[in-house]
Amino acid sequence: MSHAYLLLKDDSLYEGEAIGALGISVGEVVFNTSMTGYQEILTDPSYTGQIINFTYPLLGNYGTNREDLESKKPYLRGLILKERELLPSNFRSISSLDNFLARHGVIGISNLDTRMLTRKIRNFGVLPGAIISGKTLTPTLRSRVLTQIHAFSDADVIREASCEAAYTYRSTNSNSKSPKRIVCYDFGIKTNILRCLARYDYDIRVVPHNATYEDVVALKPDGIFLSNGPGDARSIPQTIAAIRELARYYPTFGICLGQQLLALAFGGDIYKLKFGHRGANHPVKDLTTGTIQITSQNHGYNVDRDSLLGTGFQVTHVNLNDGTVEGLQHETLPIFSVQYHPEASPGPQDSMYLFDRFHKMLAERC
């Protein structure tokens, strides 16, 4: 097995074993606390630009398959894990995790103390780093990679995660003669979100992150959906301006980055969390019903509660771990959003009612 190294922005260095592709990859090092679902996480476009440190100590035991892909390829920059399983056992498995990563050019490092790394991130916050795999780490190479780490930026990750051109997502079970048309902004949309929307026999049109107000109106939508995605929502001001106009005329539902964009569009603000929310076990309270949901989350930014004054938004959900904003609803317009992933079903069905709420909203308005 080849050696691999993890080099962080503070010049700390950790040695392990290579997994997946060989080379050098720079990204923001974050941690995920999920105990299962690694293939869905690896193919979630919201991880664009990031190196994921998994807190669960064993990955690869059930291999990889065709059914659990959330996009056409992995978007993450790298993978950090404690122990890997080279001989997976599952009736759906078609490839080992190692082969899956290598086939898609994802660089990884195993046999690392992931608990230590997680504690470091919790104490000091997320930080850029690099995985160096299959190369001799000379002082010259270390210095060059460290320069790349310091130059790392996530300014373009939304563009990288989004589709390049608009397309139609068709439900194979659609029997409706006049389905509602939903325009989905793709900031890094997960496949299962589209599957959840398709259950209602919508005519679903997906547009890239930079689609203008005129582009969307030309599609004659009945409703607007704003997807999840990576990075800082403030990096796409033209899209924020388009959403500001669209949400005034069409029922709108936002998930994750979509919630942040809605807050920004109506005059609110967002901020970067110290180490983000990434895992499948985050408890969220619905303030409108008093119920508590177990949610799947993946975001590094959050809506600033104090900035919502005067925006027309009310907080509907809060995170029970740290009290952060997890859901919004507009006081007068048909707009709502959540910061977590209802389609990921960690509860497993705790949050699917949100898609029903959107469907009811469309029926009432259209």
pLDDT given at position 60: 96
- Average pLDDT value for the chain: 95
Domains and CATH numbers, the chain: 3-153 (3.50.30.20), 159-365 (3.40.50.880)
DSSP per residue over 265-294, as a string? HTT--EEEEEEEEEEEEEEEEETTT--EEE
The answer to whether residue 171 scores a pLDDT higher than 60 is: no
Q: Range with the lowest mean pLDDT among 49-53, 350-354, 359-363? A: 350-354
- DSSP result, 313-363: EEEEEEETTT--EEEEEESSSSEEEESS-GGG-SSSSTTTHHHHHHHHHHH
Query: Catalytic residue at 70?
Result: no
Tens digits of residue pLDDT in 210-231? 999 999 999 999 999 999 999 9
Query: Does residue 329 surpass a pLDDT of 50?
Result: yes
Asked if 204 contacts 170 with a C-beta cutoff of 8 angstroms, the reply is yes
pLDDT digits (tens, 9 = 90+) for 291-325: 999 999 999 999 999 999 999 999 999 999 999 99
pLDDT band at residue 348 under the 50/70/90 scheme: confident
The predicted structure's pLDDT at residue 179: 85
Q: Is residue 256 among the annotated active site residues?
A: yes
Query: Picking from 12-16, 160-164, 168-172, 343-347, which range would have the lowest pLDDT averaged per residue?
Result: 168-172
**Residues 357-362, mean pLDDT to the nearest whole number:** 95
Q: Does residue 58 have a pLDDT over 50?
A: yes
As a whole number, mean pLDDT of residues 65-76 equals: 94
Q: Which residue in 184, 209, 256, 277 is the catalytic one?
A: 256
Tens of pLDDT, residue by residue over 229-272, are 999 999 999 999 999 999 999 999 999 999 999 999 999 999 99
As a residue count, the chain comes to 366
Q: Are strands 292-303 and 270-286 parallel, antiparallel or unpaired?
A: antiparallel
Q: Is residue 175's pLDDT more than 70?
A: no
pLDDT confidence bin for 172, thresholds 50/70/90? very low
Segment 88-112, tens digit of pLDDT = 999 999 999 999 999 999 999 999 9
- Do 71 and 190 touch, CB atoms closer than 8 A? yes
Alpha carbon dihedral 361, 294, 313, 248, in 10-degree steps, equals: -40
- Among the residue ranges 175-184, 192-201, 244-253, the one predicted with the least confidence is 175-184
Regarding predicted confidence, which is higher, 1 or 341? 341
With H, G, I as helix, E, B as strand and everything else as coil, classify residue 183: strand
Q: What is the pLDDT of residues 71-93, one digit of tens each?
A: 999 999 999 999 999 899 999 99
The answer to whether residue 49 scores a pLDDT higher than 50 is yes
Clarify whether 3 is annotated catalytic. no
What band does 344 get if pLDDT is binned at 50, 70 and 90? confident
Instruction: Encode pLDDT of 119-153 as tens digits.
Output: 999 999 999 999 999 999 999 999 999 999 999 99
Catalytic residue (one of 28, 40, 326, 343): 343
